[in-house]
Amino acid sequence: MTAGPSDLGVVDRARETELLEAALASGANVVLEGPPGTGKSTLLRRVAARREARFALVEGNAELTPARLVGHFDPALVLDRGYRPDVFVDGPLVSAMREGGLLYVEELNRVPEETLNALLTVMSEREITVPRLGVVRAADGFGVVAAMNPYDAVGTARVSSAVYDRTCRIAMGYQSAEAELQIISQRAPVQSVEWVQRVVELVRATRAHPELRVGSSVRGAMDLVGLARELARSRGVDGEDWQVGLDAALVALSGRIRVDESSTRTPEAIIEELYAQAFGPRPDGPGGEDESSGEA
């Protein structure tokens, strides 16, 4: 795949862009490390577009075998022609090597160890030996970039020191509140700047709440804004209606946050608490009564 114009909306990442471009130009392999929603994939697409390089994306998971990464001989054609180079089906790694492109491995710490081992020689020697095919050498411009979320322990494995020894690391934290406001404004129509600022405040508060192990990324804020717009339309109320915003927040954020094991509260209860802090208490009047109190 290649990067397109729509991928270039990187906000507040000038430093990381410069570091990544310098690392790749020097021939280094890079790990982009940070929580979800911090723009790791978008950043790499921007850099690939600037380099006019092929961008081969690999989803890191337990199903990523060495054959799926490197490539394989087509069984039917092997029976007919034997093990010849023209019956080898390039995987994303070999394809990127031949074309001098970038191989991007998402969720590096979810990739099986035997598959990661296939990358070691490639990262250090820029070549790989494929049984029955021979040695494949990388064209100029080839590079390996991986991304990982260091805070996610479910379904992940420890990345070996051999991999770390062959990579440079760029840490990517959450962007500023101003940058997240700009990201949301670029991606979705907003009710008002003040209202979206409160949405950003709410989402950022999930990252610092003492009872939450994991907070929401800016993607939660974008979904909240979109949900609120559609709920307000279907209910025939103002887009900044308090209950509409709460319902949108519950739907958009409850699945993204992770409550600490020591807490006895539900994700919904914590979101309601943070929502009231950002938007104020439930207002009085028609449609604004506190339903939990039993008032009609």
pLDDT score for 224: 96
Say what the pLDDT of residue 185 is.
85
H-type alpha helices, 26-112: 40-51, 66-70, 75-81, 92-99
From start to end of the chain, where are the E strands? 30-33, 55-59, 71-73, 88-90, 102-106, 127-130, 134-137, 143-148, 168-171, 212-214, 258-259
pLDDT digits (tens, 9 = 90+) for 189-217: 776 899 999 999 999 999 999 999 999 99
**Digit-coded pLDDT (tens) for 18-62:** 999 999 999 999 999 998 888 898 898 888 888 887 889 999 998
Q: Whole-number mean pLDDT of the chain?
A: 88
What pLDDT does residue 8 have? Answer: 38
User: Which pair of structure tokens corresponds to residue 223?
Assistant: 């979904």
CATH 1.10.8.80 in the chain, residue ranges: 177-293
What's the rounded mean pLDDT across residues 246-255? Answer: 97
The pLDDT of residue 201 is: 97
* Class of domain 5-171 (CATH, top level): alpha beta
pLDDT tens, residue by residue, 161-194: 898 899 999 999 999 999 999 988 887 677 689 9
Structure confidence at residue 6 (pLDDT): 36
Note the pTM of the prediction, 2 decimals. 0.79
For CATH 3.40.50.300, the residue range(s) in the chain are 5-171
- Average pLDDT value for residue range 273-281: 97
Q: Is the pLDDT of residue 7 over 50?
A: no
User: What is the tens place of the pLDDT at every residue in 231-245?
Assistant: 999 999 998 999 999
3-state SS assignment for residue 143: strand
pLDDT of residue 279: 97
Question: CATH for 177-293?
Answer: 1.10.8.80
- CA 128 vs CA 34, 111, 120, 133: distances in Å: 29, 19, 9, 10
Q: For residues 158 and 44, which has the higher predicted lDDT (pLDDT)?
A: 44
Over residues 78-97, the mean pLDDT reads: 93
- Integer-rounded Cα Rg, in Å, for the chain is 24
Beta-bridged to residue 56, according to DSSP, are: 103
Residue 283 tokens read as: 């207002």
pLDDT band at 84 (very low <50, low <70, confident <90, very high): very high
Amino acid at 174: Y
288 compared with 159, residue with greater pLDDT:
159
